[in-house]
Amino acid sequence: QQQVKQSPQSLIVQKGGISIINCAYENTAFDYFPWYQQFPGKGPALLIAIRPDVSEKKEGRFTISFNKSAKQFSLHIMDSQPGDSATYFCAANTNAGKSTFGDGTTLTVKP
Amino acid sequence: NAGVTQTPKFRVLKTGQSMTLLCAQDMNHEYMYWYRQDPGMGLRLIHYSVGEGTTAKGEVPDGYNVSRLKKQNFLLGLESAAPSQTSVYFCASSYSGTGFNSPLHFGNGTRLTVT
C-alpha cells in the first residue's frame, strides 16, 4: 500500500515558468511534510517543509501549499531556473521516527 | 564538517557474495537510517536505529542486516547478495526522529551492482 502518491513522474518546464508537483497521502497520523531535492550523484537534501496546521509556506521561489481536508500538498517553484533541474521527493512523517517518501519527480527546466 | 559519509561509493558483487556498507555521521545524531533508491520507486526504508545499540526493521528489510555499535556509525550488511539488491543505497541521520526541525541528512549514496 503506497501511502504517499506523487505526480507527475517527470516534468519539463521552460525557464521562468512555474513548476508544480503534487502529493497525496492517506495516513492522518502524518504530522510533518518535507520536500527533498536531489541532484544526480548526490543524496537528497531538505528543500522546504510544512506542518499540517498551516496552509502555505514560502521560502524564496519555493512554496508548499497544504490542504489538510483533501490530504494533499504541493510544491510550487516560481520563476523556474535550469539550476532547479533535479529530482524532487515529497515525504510524510510521523513523530515515531520514520519518513514515507513519494516516488519522485524529475524536473527539467529548459533554458 | 563532513555530515554523513558513506563508503564505498561503488561496488560490484557476484550473486552470493557478502559485503558491508559503512555509514558515519559527525553531527551527534541519535537516529540513523538505511534507504534504497530504485528508479520510479522513491526511497524505501530498509532498517533504522533510534540510538546506539538499537536497530529496527523498515519497509524492505529482507536480505539485509544492520548494526549500530557506536553512535556515529551504522553498518548495512548483505550476507548473500542477489541481483534484486542492485540499487543505490543511502544512509541518513536525524537529530531526533523525523518531526519538525529534525530533517533527514543524507549521504551521497553507494551504487551497488549484483551480477
Q: How many other C-beta atoms can be found within 10 angstroms of the C-beta atom of residue B70?
A: 11
Q: Do A89 and B48 touch (CB under 8 A)?
A: no
CA angle B47, B103, A18 (to 5 degrees): 115
User: Do the chains contact at B99 and A42, CB–CB below 8 Å?
Assistant: no
pLDDT band at A71 (very low <50, low <70, confident <90, very high): very high
Which of A3-12, A41-50, A72-81, B90-99 is predicted least confidently? B90-99
Q: How far is CA B54 from the centre of its chain?
A: 14
Residue of A nearest to B97 (CA): A97
CB-nearest partner of A41 from B50, B104, B108 = B108
Q: Which residues contact A17 (CB under 8 A, 6 or more apart)?
A: A80, A109
Identify the residue among B100, B101, B105, B110 best suited for mutation to test binding to A, counting A beta carbons within 10 A and taking the highest. B100
By Cβ distance, the residue of B31, B42, B100 closest to A97 is B31
Q: What is the pLDDT of residues A28-37, one digit of tens each?
A: 888 899 999 9
- What percent of chain A has a predicted confidence (pLDDT) above 70? 96
Which of B104, B107, B108 lies closest to A99 in CB terms?
Answer: B104
